[in-house]
Structure 1
């Protein structure tokens, strides 16, 4: 009865499901919420019979009601890969705006602390490198990626408005590229894309000339940073990511070496507004949270590749993406 109670939205997603694991392991009573628009029931299957976990299937862009007390909310409901938010742009904007508004209202009513999941995408195609929290970004608001970038930027703004106007306890995490088990093989992001191509014996597709950079953080490190941020006393945005930067071409070569395959790298046109650089400045997280990533990329990539190798042949060769037809008019 004295356990802290936490609501985690987007619970059936990649990061959300790992957060559910973390909070259950730390002794919280966890309520997972998801509408499965991009989440997967199998990500939570191991928790369904756990007495410290309950699940509610619900779309947070509609009215959210939670019975009983609530101590914390982690708002992670959102499409997070380009394939998803380009296919369902309205839903992406709604979950960042209406969904966030609804959950801030719940937090206010329950006197709960809320942490919202923002993203490195708020920096757009950055003109400052590495990206530090007080950089305002370089975002094309009307470009194809703008639906995600602006949803998250609005999410940050309304969260800070609730903090300043209502005195609500709020936290904002800016998440940089994160990887690990439970990523969707066909979600379009670079790690599952490369690993899926390698496992199917296909050449690895690099967009542009491969000189664009990314910085990859293993999911366990990311979750630990988020957990520490929730419990700290700081309400402005904090970058959580791995500052070890690598070009996409170098990364493709790493994947070929890791998988022991002989595929070639092929090149296609760079998508519109694809950021050329991604590297977090994590000085604030180090100072504030005593946090920095611990899992070496070589170790994390091997764990992730082993996860993808364990998928069924049907999952491995399924090229079509999730059917969003039932959500189109919502």
Structure 2
């Protein structure tokens, strides 16, 4: 009998939107994948199609508690990323980022595993610098309603770099900008899923503010490729590395693009802008281009078509 020597990879938050796509990609790349999720915002349905694969294992576990497994690499994606979910239990959100980072870094230290932190563009807050470069320290409200997520992720980055300096741990830090695609939760409150679901259901499209604020939208397949490239990069590249699509759109442009593709008679309705909502968001991905030879391929038009097709399918069920 031939003994398989597959790389053992742990994905925390593996049943979430990004995590499930990552698990899929790692299995396709020949890895043995342990998917860990507490199902606060992740869904078993996102990984149900992987359960029959003998190289995939699903474990219910909360990363705020230690985990004792043997792995070669860790992708730490655990943390609700949409305001609806992370503001529902802000204390737990902060714990997930901070205690979760401590526990996963401890596991990486014990097993000598390489570990990647899924950080966020939210560490830049409402930026004074545009586009945002990794050298920018950010402008974040430490006591606002979004702080549980923003500051939790900032603290996680601090912990990663302290473990790197103090213990020579092999770390990678990715700052993920707005990502969209199939398996987004229809009720997660994020702008792409909101607009598509509202348009498909013939409801008003709700725009917060006047629609002039900007975002950059990265299709999920491009993002997963970027994360895999970063994990495989030379040891000296620790990050942080911006990951996102530098094509910038106003929220109004996004709403109009969705309406054009979906059709129907939905109206655009303006509502007050939420507290601490950033006015601009665009990644400078020069570092990712130079060090990882990575940049997104999927244009918004094509990505929206694939995402609309997914939501059309699940909403009809």
TM-score of Structure 1 vs Structure 2, range by shorter chain: over 0.9
Q: Hey, what does 1:107 align to over in structure 2?
A: 108
Which residue in 2 is equivalent to 1:139?
Answer: 140
Aligned-partner SS, 1:117: strand
Counterpart of 1:251? 254
Q: Which consecutive unaligned segments of at least 5 residues does structure 1 have?
A: 315-330
Unaligned runs of 5+ in 2: none
Superposed, 1:167-316 pairs within 5 Å as: 167-233=168-234, 234-313=237-316
**Length-normalised TM-score, structure 2:** 0.97
Find the aligned partners of 1:281 and 1:261 in 2 and give their Cα distance: 36
Residue equivalent to 1:14: 17
Q: What is the alpha-carbon distance in structure 1 between the residues aligned to residue 124 and residue 315 of structure 2? A: 37
The equivalent of 1:159 in structure 2 is: 160
Q: How does 1:28-39 map to 2 (within 5 A)?
A: 28-39=31-42
| Secondary structure of 1:311 counterpart | helix
For 1:70, what is the secondary structure of its paired residue? coil
Q: Per the alignment, in what secondary structure is the counterpart of residue 100 of structure 2?
A: helix
Cα separation, 2, equivalents of 1:44 and 1:290: 29
> In 1, Cα distance between the equivalents of 2:162 and 2:239?
12
Cα distance in structure 1, aligned partners of 2:195 and 2:301: 15
Aligned to 1:82: 83
1:72 aligns with 2:81: no
Q: Partner residue of 1:321? A: none
Instruction: Say whether residues 1:50 and 2:56 are aligned partners.
Output: no
The runs of 4+ residues in structure 1 deviating greater than 6 Å are none
- After superposition, the C-alpha distances for 1:13-66 in whole angstroms (9 at most, x for unaligned) are 000000000100000000000010100000000100101111111011012111
In structure 2, what is the Cα distance between the partners aligned to 1:313 and 1:289? Answer: 40
Instruction: Provide the aligned length of Structure 1 versus Structure 2.
Output: 312
Q: How does 1:121-136 map to 2 (within 5 A)?
A: 121-136=122-137
**Structure 1 residue 262, shift from structure 2 partner:** 2.1
**Structure 1 residues 59-90: Cα deviation after superposition (integer angstroms, max 9, x where no partner):** 11012111xx4110000000100111111101
**Aligned mates of 2:308, 2:252 — CA distance in 1:** 18
**RMSD of the alignment, in Å?**
0.8
